[in-house]
Amino acid sequence: MARTLNREQHAARRDEILDAARGLVQTQGYEQMSIQNILDELQMSKGAFYHYFASKTALLEALIERMLDEAEAVTHPLVYDPTLPARDKLCSVFDTLGRWKTAQKAFMLAAGA
């Protein structure tokens, strides 16, 4: 019998897969990482994985999308800060994105970006 998950459980499981994939990409590299590595780490079935992602490429796209969301989250408060003049906002956004990118360096190199 199929297990039904509510939205929060579904999102949490998807995040768990993304977290595992990110760690594997950083330790093995994207090309060397396999879906089986993720299945083994999470002790999940292949069918369960494909319920969340159609392919390894779709998984990578989701990881990139997640990273873009993180980048937006760190810059959004700066962009919409009514107390900062436009020039200061721009400088702050570039400075913040530079630090964020540096923090992502290991993943970017392992992913082959």
Residue 23 inside a domain? The answer is yes
For 40-65, the pLDDT digits (tens) are 999 999 999 999 999 999 999 999 99
Identity of the residue numbered 53: F
Identity of the residue numbered 51: H
- Nearest-Å Rg of the Cα atoms of the chain is 17
Residue 69 inside a domain? The answer is yes
pTM, 2 dp: 0.79
The three-point CA angle 75-62-19 to 5° equals: 85
Residue 1 inside a domain? The answer is no
Write the DSSP symbol of residue 33. Answer: -
Number of domains comprising the chain: 1
Supply the CATH number for residue 31's domain: 1.10.357.10
